[in-house]
Chains A and B, each alone.
Chain A
Amino acid sequence: MLRYALKRFLSLVLSLAVASLIIFFVIEIAPGDPATFMLGINAQEDTVAALREELGLNGTKLSRYLSWVSGMLTGDFGTSYTYRTPVAQMVADRLKVSLPLAIFGLLLSVLIGIPAGIYAATRRGKGGDIAVMGATQLGVAVPNFWFAMMLVLLFAIKLRWFGAGGFPGWDKGFWVCLHALTLPAICLALPQAAILARVMRSSLLDVLGEDFMRTARAKGLTHLQAVWRHGVRNAFIPVLTIIGLQIAFLLAGAIIIEQVFYLPGLGRLIFQSINARDLIVVESVVMLLVFSVIVVNFLVDLAYAAVDPRLRSRE
């Protein structure tokens, strides 16, 4: 088990190194000079050159890459070209909204999707299954901003249970913030829950056809006992893969939802930075996202091993 974890960890470090290289050089070759952009088209040549010097845009590519990476390792993400504030601080402020939103969304997605999938699998072909499958079909097909608009119309404008958008800040209290994040989290979670439910259902149906499920019944377990004790854990591996993919999406893919609910999240930061050619912010945020995806994949790998003993002993 330890060797398995170590091996996965090595692959994590390698992926991060490769990812940082790719991100740096891809963004480097993107057109548009930040200094010119910041000073406007009519700026003096020497002013631009001075700013380029100040921003550190003049060194060799390699030295700039190394200073970027070593800065990140020490928590120094550089200074935003547009706002002239530390990127680390900007990202941290946005994460205070995006991370709780992602976790909230993930929890909802898992709590709705997995039970729905299990329920549908145990009632295969019956009314409950058809209803759940129909609902997930809608969940997958309908874009989440439409959900967002409908939820706002219903809960914010008609019923007035929730605000229509905005984020009060954590200093206003935990429950107030949670309340503000509820509608966005539901919008984020619904399509993900629909996918999870479908994967859980088909994976569990596969497992239910296995011989050991029949063995479990022959021991005297009821159908439901057999499903819970022997089916669900075996069916979980593909579901874990999907959950891992969803975490990354929930963290970065919330741009539209942040826009609809006017939340100061990571997605909007990326959007604004790209528009402003604030490359250092884009680089940092993308690197952060890659980092979180790779870490999540590492955790998913560990979770596989926890679920399936065969993986533990194979490596």
Chain B
Amino acid sequence: MSLLSIKNLTLSIHGIPILRDVELAIAPGEIVAVTGESGSGKSMTALAVMQLLPQGAEIAGQIHLSDEDILAAGEDRMCALRGNDVGMVFQEPMTALNPVKTIGDQVAETILLHGAMDRAAAMDRAREVLARVGLPENRFPLTRYPHELSGGQRQRVVIAMAIALRPKLLIADEPTTALDVTTQAQILELLTGLVREFGMGMLMITHDLAVVAEMADRITVMRHGEVVEQGSTGDLLTNMQHPYTKMLFQASGHKVVLPAPPPPAPLLDVANVVREYRLPRTRLFSRPEYFRAVNHVSLVINRGERVGLVGESGCGKSTLTRAILGLEDVQGGHIRLDGEPVFSGQSPNLSVRRKMQVVFQDPFGSFNPRHKVERLITESFHLLDNPPRGAARQDAVAEALTAVGLSPDDAQKYVHEFSGGQRQRIAIARALIIRPELILFDEAVSALDVSVRAQVLDLLADLCRAYSLTYLFISHDLSVVRTVTDRVIVMQSGEVVEEGVTEQVFANPKHPYTRKLIAAAPVLPELGVVG
């Protein structure tokens, strides 16, 4: 008797088909992972079980939770089931909690709502559950507000809310995607522990195949709203049938071959850099205190070298990136590109800025939606003294677009006409068009699906061969950094703790923090077994 059974589930929203004939079953105590790329319908499957689908949804088929027919249950009955029999954990811990209510109240709300106990008992249970998820009351009082907690701690609160009434089924929708590797490892361990302890069933939705392989009992692979393959984790990993599954796993572990870097000749010189932020004063007339985000960091990037920068959120890698780009002044040390300071006076040094470009993480938010691609990618021309005009300009646009695998005709389109991966190509074209000496990739592939990510990584390798790029690749994704960089720098709490040839650092990490990072990152099983 399965806990959750989905049969022939078909869903359309405003007439657009979303799911087709989805079949899925979860037994008590079992972890079933649903994986696939964006648009595969994995989140919609979860929302269908919760009956929290968007407006205009038309659903057919069967969803049974124990004996209960979910699709026949009315809204009142669903309200009784949600939170009580089914708990749900969402992707974005930063926004999943109500900012104006204390964590104690938010956890207790689930308990009070279902009338399980009176207020005092509910607060006791909230205290107990929060302690169980790793937020003991002596360090995290119930009166804390969400903004006083880190992302990982907030996710623990969300989990506490979901499991407060010990539901039979826990649905976790990308529960660790927004978290650091070490936090991710802790949250995954917590979830697995809870499932085993309470005998819950868990529907885990994630795009991260390494996570799937590590914790799921069974795997369901979805594409375009259909289940393409499912089976127990061991069977599926050793004996993949569907080409899409094979492609997914191969793309996840995708490796590229970089050309050998030229002999070292320094390009970027970061020496003893300190970057401090003034903290809000704790008392009215006290001396201001400072937070040192980057603490005496020195590094060199040689011409033609590909360098990775890794570390958890808050380690100072973004601050360092902004300082290298000359967007902010530093409080100590200097940053020079080709011997010239990147920051002069109150503004970035133009003659240096034209030698540097950046590609950001979010392919959807980093373009002005009102501009055509041509205008977007030629924006950096204003850095040049003598930008190409007329036919030369057209040629430059065409060449940049061709270089990133797009067509010159795309110059006349708007960004909304492109997919996430294509937009990231446009971002690279924008960086490439003035032939910068150095490109900074700030989490540039983190928001992409694995297959798209693999293509963008291939593109990077191609560009390295064609233009002998020099770049700094900032990422929390260790497996990507491992394949696209020659040298890697590990940062912790504003300091560089380890630096070395990428393969050597990964194979033989010296610093305990590096070891911790590498150990925490989920590992994709070797794909030699894939037929």
Contact = CB atoms under 8 A, between A and B. Distances in A.
Interface of A: 3, 6, 210-212, 214-222, 225, 229-230, 233-234, 307-310, 313-315
Given A211-B95, A212-B98, A309-B100, A218 B280 contact: no
Contact of A309 (B95, B99, B113): B99
Interface residues of B, number: 34
A212 B95 contact: yes
B97 interface: yes
Specify which of B99, B147, B161, B284 lies most central, judged by the most chain A CB atoms within 10 Å of its CB. B99
Given A212-B96, A218-B88, A308-B100, A314 B280 contact: yes
B24 interface: no
A310 B52 contact: no
B110 interface: yes
Interface in B281-339: 283-284
Contact of B52 (A218, A233, A307): A218
A211 to B, nearest CB: 4
B67 interface: no
B383 to A, nearest CB: 37
A248 B97 CA distance: 35
Specify which of A210, A215, A218, A233 lies most central, judged by the most chain B CB atoms within 10 Å of its CB. A218
Contacts of B161: 215, 219
Contacts, number: 79
B417 interface: no
A217 B99 contact: no
B114 interface: yes
Specify which of A212, A220, A230 lies most central, judged by the most chain B CB atoms within 10 Å of its CB. A220
Dominant secondary structure of chain A at its interface with chain B: helix
Contacts of B113: 219-221, 225
A214 B52 contact: yes
Contacts of A215: 88, 90, 96-98, 158, 161
A230 B98 CA distance: 7
B98 A222 contact: no
Contacts of B284: 3, 6
13 contacts: A210-B95, A211-B90, A215-B98, A215-B158, A218-B50, A219-B109, A229-B109, A233-B100, A234-B98, A234-B99, A307-B100, A313-B147, A315-B280
A309 B97 CA distance: 13
Interface in B68-114: 75-76, 79-84, 87-88, 90, 92, 95-101, 109-110, 113-114
A35 B97 CA distance: 66
B45 to A, nearest CB: 15
Contacts of A219: 82-83, 109-110, 113, 161
Pairs of residues from A and B, 3 with the lowest C-beta to C-beta distance, nearest first: A220-B83, A218-B88, A219-B83
Contacts of B162: 218
